[in-house]
């Protein structure tokens, strides 16, 4: 398994930080203008960290597209083809610049139908992961093209229900259901001595577990490349440091494990940590080497381990075959699952 390169080799802190806020705004405007010129696009909003006004210099630009497909045609492939053509030069230069149309595009009819629902039914749309993704990502979104106000109305309605008990209850249940099979498999593998497999399964469980904790705190995960820093910060903010420590155990990012894993990163790729650190500090974020290293290792593990099992895992992935270390992972993950299960019961009871 190779270290996954997240940032291109040519990127420097100076390039990333050069007028970066204006650059991101310009990209959003240019993308909106390009999309809105298409005959089957009737609305565009910018979402995610850019929409909320909390991006970092290397943040992607998430767009929400409202379509009016001719003859009911699925315009997803049309949009994807347009983007692939427009981004050919960027793709050749290994600059990520894609739109996830599977989740981030709806038709005018979809929006009209959703807005016509009573609140209970509107919240229940989030049972579908596509709708949940949209209703989560449009928090703080800014409309760029919205001639009939339909997109703005949808965003406002999502913001009105996103942190209601009924919505949180469904979200926590989704995350609990997502984590439980991974942990059950980890426990089973541990019993048979397959400790590396168990360790990998715990890592797979930590995403839904951490997302579920955010739901119970009524917070949003936001930045994937700052996942550990953000979770620890929110845990401290809400007075739940125990969950923060449990998470570090589950992902094997306690201080000693972090430095051990970082030492196993290929030497030529260790410089990426310094690049991330310089960019984040240059953007005004108060961050130290330990936090930057944890974030880099976590996102690298997240994009690497997937669902495939293998006999040996590089140390930098955090997957280990050492029984005591895996037991510590399980303890941390099980504590988080217990919290989510209890919160799920309480939320379900409050919404009956």
Q: How many CB atoms lie within 10 A of CB 68?
A: 13
Own/partner contacts of 307-316, CB < 8 Å, gap of 24 or more, are 307/204, 309/197, 309/200, 310/1, 311/196, 312/196, 313/1, 313/196, 313/199, 313/200, 314/1, 314/3, 314/264, 315/260, 315/261, 315/263, 315/264, 316/3, 316/261, 316/262, 316/264, 316/265
Domain of 341 in residue numbering reads as 165-350
The answer to whether residues 175 and 64 belong to one domain is no
The answer to whether residues 119 and 204 belong to one domain is no
The token pair that represents 20 in the structure block: 């970066």
The answer to whether residues 45 and 188 belong to one domain is no
pLDDT string in tens for the chain (352-residue length): 788 877 777 889 999 999 999 988 888 888 888 888 988 899 999 998 888 888 889 888 888 889 887 776 777 777 777 777 776 666 565 555 555 555 577 889 989 999 999 999 999 999 998 899 889 989 999 999 999 999 999 999 999 999 999 999 999 999 999 999 999 999 999 999 999 999 999 999 999 999 999 999 999 887 788 899 999 999 999 999 999 999 999 999 999 999 999 999 999 889 999 999 999 999 999 999 999 999 999 999 988 887 555 667 899 999 999 999 999 999 999 999 999 999 999 998 887 7
The answer to whether residues 153 and 301 belong to one domain is no
The answer to whether residues 179 and 125 belong to one domain is no
Cβ proximity of 270 and 262 under 8 Å: yes
Backbone angles phi, psi at 215, to 5 degrees: -60, -45
The answer to whether residue 193 sits within a structural domain is: yes
The answer to whether residues 101 and 224 belong to one domain is no
321 vs 113: CA distance, rounded Å = 51
The answer to whether residues 201 and 139 belong to one domain is no
12 vs 241: CA distance, rounded Å = 35
The answer to whether residues 136 and 238 belong to one domain is no
Count up the domains in the chain and report the number: 2
pTM score of the predicted model: 0.89
Q: First-to-last CA distance in the chain?
A: 48
The answer to whether residues 156 and 173 belong to one domain is no
């Amino acid at each position: 398994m190779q270290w996954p390169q997240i940032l291109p080799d040519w990127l420097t802190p100076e390039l990333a930080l050069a007028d970066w806020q204006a650059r991101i705004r310009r990209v959003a405007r240019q993308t909106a203008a390009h999309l809105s010129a298409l005959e089957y696009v009737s609305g565009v909003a910018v979402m995610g960290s850019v929409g909320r006004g909390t991006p970092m210099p290397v943040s992607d630009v998430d767009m929400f597209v409202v379509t009016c497909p001719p003859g009911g045609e699925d315009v997803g492939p049309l949009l994807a083809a347009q983007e692939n053509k427009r981004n050919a030069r960027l793709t050749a230069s290994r600059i990520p610049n894609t739109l996830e149309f599977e989740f981030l595009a709806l038709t005018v009819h979809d929006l009209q139908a959703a807005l016509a629902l009573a609140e209970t039914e509107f919240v229940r749309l989030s049972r579908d992961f596509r709708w949940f993704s949209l209703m989560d990502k449009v928090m703080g979104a800014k409309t760029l093209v919205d001639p009939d106000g339909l997109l703005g109305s949808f965003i406002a309605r999502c913001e009105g229900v996103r942190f209601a008990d009924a919505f949180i209850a469904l979200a926590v249940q989704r995350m609990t259901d997502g984590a439980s099979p991974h942990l059950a498999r980890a426990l089973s593998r541990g019993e048979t001595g397959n400790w590396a497999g168990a360790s990998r399964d715990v890592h797979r469980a930590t995403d839904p577990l951490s997302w579920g904790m955010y739901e119970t705190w009524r917070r949003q995960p936001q930045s994937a490349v700052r996942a550990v820093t953000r979770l620890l910060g929110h845990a401290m903010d809400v007075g739940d440091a125990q969950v923060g420590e449990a998470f570090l155990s589950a992902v094997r990012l306690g201080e000693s494990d972090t430095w051990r894993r970082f030492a196993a990163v290929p030497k030529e790729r260790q410089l990426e940590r310094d690049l991330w650190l310089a960019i984040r500090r240059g953007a005004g974020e108060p961050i130290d080497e330990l936090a930057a290293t944890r974030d880099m290792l976590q996102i690298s593990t997240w994009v690497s381990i997937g669902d495939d099992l293998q006999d040996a895992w590089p140390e930098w992935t955090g997957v280990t075959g050492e029984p005591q270390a895996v037991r510590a992972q399980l303890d941390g993950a099980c504590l988080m699952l217990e919290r989510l299960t209890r919160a799920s019961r309480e939320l379900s009871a409050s919404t009956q």
